Structure 1
Amino acid sequence: MDASTTADMARAADTGDERPVKPALWRGWRRRCPQCGTGPLMESYLKVRDHCPVCNEELHHQRADDGPAYLTILVVGHLMVPFFHFGFTIFRPDPMVLFSVLSIIAVAIGLYLLPRFKGLLVGVQWAKRMHGFAPPEQRQEQV
């Protein structure tokens, strides 16, 4: 990302103009600050920082709640069904072997996707100015 795009995003953040959604989604997926793209979004595995240490954007407004868990279950479930079907019909393993292998794969995919989906949802909220990410003058109008 070049400096002009970062400057445009900072200007949009200050003036209340529309923020670009795609860069915010990508930055959230990478677990980076949706405004600057360089600061870490997460303080720990799933805890979002109160503010970005690089650009000082306030992030405590986010309300991801159960959305990341729902999306993770949805994606992992849809990925595991074909594995289960083809694994059972082609290889015919012992049911406990199939269950053990697919459980480990499902947990690994779920642990990989969960923080990324949380970052993605924080990026959407930031880009759409949801849940307190709007400038202070717009926040008072929304109440």
Structure 2
Amino acid sequence: MVEEATTFSEPTARDVTLAVRRATFGKCPACGNGKLYRKYLKVADNCSACGEELHHHRADDAPPYFTILIAGHFIVAGVMMVEERFQPDYWIHLAIWLPLTMGLCLWMLPRVKGALVGLQWALRMHGFGGRDIHDPAEPTPEPIAPAQ
């Protein structure tokens, strides 16, 4: 029994900047038209516009870490400036910074997660490495004739 082998050429590079930008704004990293999320942080299984499979992502714990890292720099800088200039009581700090921190983190979290999903898609990580249905230049694999 002779099995038929298939050759694949090196996949074409995907535009990382474009994919990250699209996903940051909650759109499919492949086409930019379909929604990335079906709920607040629940990534859709497939793009509603192009059918790209999005369930491969492995964002897991990274988005909260990056969100806290980024938001923390803004909040701590604000706290330090307000304390230096006005020296308010601690309850005033809590009244200002606690809701501001929560709001900023809740606003940033889906954007950071989208950016990471877009990055994973563009770099073909975690199962996103299949044939690119959006690139007409990507060739269809051709079978190799069996050796006689």
1:96-117 Cα deviation digits (max 9, x unpaired):
1112211111111101100000
Pairs aligned (count): 122
Larger Rg, first or second structure (1 or 2): 2
Runs of 4+ off more than 4 Å: none
1:91-106 maps to which residues of 2 (within 5 A)? 91-106=86-101
Query: Cα RMSD (Å) of the superposition?
Result: 1.1
Confirm or deny that 1:114 pairs with 2:112: no
Partner of 2:15: 20
Structure 1: 5+ residue stretches without partners: 1-14, 137-143
Question: 1:140 corresponds to which residue?
Answer: none
Find the counterpart in structure 2 of residue 65 from structure 1: 60
The structure where strand makes up a greater share of residues is 2
TM-score, length-normalised on structure 2? 0.80
Q: Which moved further from structure 2: 89-98 or 107-116?
A: 89-98
State how far apart, in whole Å, the 1-side matches of 2:86 and 2:33 are.
Answer: 46
Percent of counterpart pairs with the same letter?
44
1:75 corresponds to 2:70: yes
Q: Which has the higher helix share?
A: 1
TM-score after normalising by structure 1: 0.83
Which runs of no fewer than 5 residues in structure 2 stay unpaired?
Answer: 1-9, 132-148
Higher relative contact order (CA 8 A, sep 6+): 2
Q: How far apart, CA to CA, are the structure 1 residues paired with 2:77 and 2:117?
A: 30
